[in-house]
Amino acid sequence: MSTTATAPKSSRHEASSLTAGQLPSWSTWVALVASIVVAALLTVAFGGFNLVGALALGALLFLVVMHVWSMSVEGGRKAVDRLAKHLVVAAFVIALIPLVWVIWSTLTQGLPRMDVTFFTNSMRSVVGQGGGLAHALTGTLWVTGIATLISVPIGLLTAVYLSEYGHGRLARGITFFVDVMTGIPSIVAGLFAYSLMTMLRGPGTQNGLAGAIALSVLMIPVVVRSTEELLRIVPNELREASYALGVPKWATIMKVVIPTAISGIVSGVILAIARIIGETAPLMIAAGFTASQNMNPLNNAMMTMPVFVYDQYAHPGVPVAPYHERAWAGALTLILLVMALNLLGRLIARRFAPKTAGR
Amino acid sequence: MSKRIEAKDLNIYYGKFRAVEGVNMVIEPRSVTAFIGPSGCGKSTVLRTMNRMHEVINGAYVEGKLLLDGEDLYGPGVDPVNVRRQVGMVFQRPNPFPTMSIKENVLAGVHLNNKRVNQATQDELCEKALRGANLWEEVKNRLDLPGSGLSGGQQQRLCIARAIAMQPEVLLMDEPCSALDPISTLAIEDLIQELKENYTIVIVTHNMQQAARVSDRTGFFNIAGTGAPGKLIEIGPTEKIFSKPDQQATEDYITGRFG
């Protein structure tokens, strides 16, 4: 870029067919800062300084200024190229705003209550200060654990059927219904589990198992979809190599196809867990509310973290502050848990990835 | 080891499409037979019927008889898995299992079939197969490293080692050198010459010089046009096919007048 200093000015019009005008490397930043400053001054002129207005107006101004500037120096193709690049970056920044905002407000409002009591105490006989989400934490572990135990075998085997065995009408039907399942509203899954429990154990039954059943209805299609995709990208050559060694089909699937895809399968499962661990609506119906520790998923209501957050926020006592603090801290714990699961998924994916090193 | 293959009125189909028709031939044990011909003429298809890999593709089936030492490979009650344990195959592109080390790749046929073999026998089998594939000296110090870390030519010899570790009767090779450089190709061709002492070898190749160099007998396949089934035009001793073939089409193909 610094070579432009020595190049003749507006070389676009020079004789050589290879040279073209180029904006200096600092032009983008100068234009950006200048646009925002001008926009800020404009907001001051029309009724007082406004940060959001200045930034939004500045961004618009920048797009126009940069386009015109580039058009006059570099020509149409590069100007359009710059415009597209700036639009993409703008979209990225806009997409980041809510994410950063959510993390920031959860951190600032949740951190004060992230103390030891919060993780060791339940809400049993707690009014006002103190208390914690120990009961919701164990509840969430129980419910998602059981949901995973139900969903992974069913999802994995369905995916193996679809990618390795299924042809024709049955496979198409299963694929269709898996897609339909992906779209089931989570509240419907909760109602399904609740009415199943009503049929089995009488009306009004709420327990951890019901919550797990509701979550697995949501989790199975996710596991099937991700596993099927991964099994399909295992090269057919590997299957043929295995068949050519006289290996039966089942052993080929178990020992060649699945191991080749295992890293993706495991991280897919963990992402599916991360997806359902924050479900609230089905758990409110199927697993219910409670203030006390319950280690038996077959009997009585079981508190879970999303429901805990909802409960603390929606039904506070007086004064409101400690309830809201617990809600924020619960939300922060949930975010951290999901983040930890995502990291774990990536670690496992790297750990099991096919060996490539060493030549 | 090594068995004779005999095809009688073999018709091969992909669904309704007849890919190859009317193949009659004998492949002698302890020899190298090469299949040559233009693309799409059914050489590979015929090769894949010889260890029942053809039917891995949906809707593919075979009519006629294909005999391995007099036993019909497509007879009632024949288990394709048992056929493939006797008729090994090496593919066009090297395809070592990416999750396995070099040694595990060689012993894949043993391990994947759940055979219980003690450690000493395994080591012995691994060394023997790798020596058989001329790869032992190059990899003996890194048997536990991944097979995908080898060069293309080494990977292909690893695949040959994997196939001969199963101690098959017949070894099928589907354009085994087409993805390799001349040096690696030479290594594989030398290897084929050694392997024919013990195995019946059938090789498909696009390279006529290669067919002339390595094979004892050569079969020429051709198609009348797109959509028409491929046919075995003639098969005979390699010198004869390359010097004075019976059929005009063979001579045209050999001398480069088409294809």
| CA A207 remoteness from chain centre | 27
Q: Which residues contact B143 (CB under 8 A, 6 or more apart)?
A: B101, B102, B103, B126
- Give the count of Cβ contacts less than 8 A between chain A and B: 98
Q: What is the pLDDT averaged over residues A322-348?
A: 91
Q: Output the pLDDT for position A157.
A: 95
Is the per-residue pLDDT at A1 higher than 50? Answer: no
Look up residue A131 and give its DSSP letter.
-
Domains in chain A, CATH or no CATH each: 21-112 (no CATH), 118-352 (1.10.3720.10)
**Min Cα–Cα distance to chain A from B258, Å:** 31
Task: Give tens-digit pLDDT for A144-157.
Answer: 999 999 999 999 99
Give the pair of three-digit tokens for residue B169.
């009767």
Q: What is the pLDDT averaged over residues B134-138?
A: 88
**Min Cα–Cα distance to chain A from B160, Å:** 11
Nearest to B21 by CA among B35, B34, B7, B37: B7
Tell me which residue in A246, A255, A260 faces B84 most closely, judged by beta carbons: A246
Q: What is the band of A286 on the pLDDT scale with cuts at 50, 70, 90?
A: very high
Locate tokens 């302890």: which residue? B30
Q: Do B146 and A358 touch (CB under 8 A)?
A: yes
Looking at the structure of chain B, the number of domains it has is 1
**Min Cα–Cα distance to chain A from B166, Å:** 7
d(CA A304, CA B177): 61
The two beta strands, B32-36 and B230-237, are unpaired
- Report percent pLDDT > 90 for chain B: 24
Q: Do B148 and A356 touch (CB under 8 A)?
A: yes
Q: What is the band of A47 on the pLDDT scale with cuts at 50, 70, 90?
A: confident
Q: Output the pLDDT for position A76.
A: 85
For residue B148, list chain A residues with Cβ-Cβ distance below 8 A. Answer: 354-356
d(CA B88, CA A237): 15
In a domain, B239, yes or no: yes
CATH number of the domain where residue B132 is located: 3.40.50.300
If you average pLDDT over every residue of chain A, what do you get?
Answer: 88
- Interface predicted TM-score (ipTM): 0.87
**Min Cα–Cα distance to chain A from B252, Å:** 34
* DSSP of A16-38: -SS------TTHHHHHHHHHHHH
**A174 membership: H or E segment, kind and range:** helix A168-182
Task: Give tens-digit pLDDT for A31-45.
Answer: 999 999 998 888 888
Please give the residue that has the higher pLDDT: either B25 or A14.
Answer: B25
Q: Output the pLDDT for position A148.
A: 95
Q: What is the band of A184 on the pLDDT scale with cuts at 50, 70, 90?
A: very high
Q: Do A259 and B150 touch (CB under 8 A)?
A: no
Q: Output the pLDDT for position B217.
A: 93
Q: Output the pLDDT for position A359.
A: 35
Quickly count: other Cβ atoms within 10 Å of residue B238's Cβ. Answer: 19
Q: What is the band of A329 on the pLDDT scale with cuts at 50, 70, 90?
A: very high
Q: Output the pLDDT for position A213.
A: 95
Q: What is the pLDDT averaged over residues B68-90?
A: 89
d(CA B140, CA A357): 17
Phi first, then psi: give them for residue B79, nearest 5 degrees.
-90, 120
Is the per-residue pLDDT at B62 higher than 50? Answer: yes
Tell me which residue in A247, A355, A359 faces B112 most closely, judged by beta carbons: A247
Q: Output the pLDDT for position A222.
A: 94
Q: Is the peptide bond before A112 cis (omega within 30 degrees of 0)?
A: no
3-state helix, strand, coil in chain B (%, to 5): 35, 25, 35
In a domain, B259, yes or no: no
Q: Do B56 and A239 touch (CB under 8 A)?
A: yes
d(CA B62, CA B21): 10
Q: Output the pLDDT for position B259.
A: 54
B25-B29-B30-B35 Cα dihedral, nearest 10 degrees: 20
The whole domain housing B187 covers 5-254
Phi first, then psi: give them for residue B65, nearest 5 degrees.
-120, 140
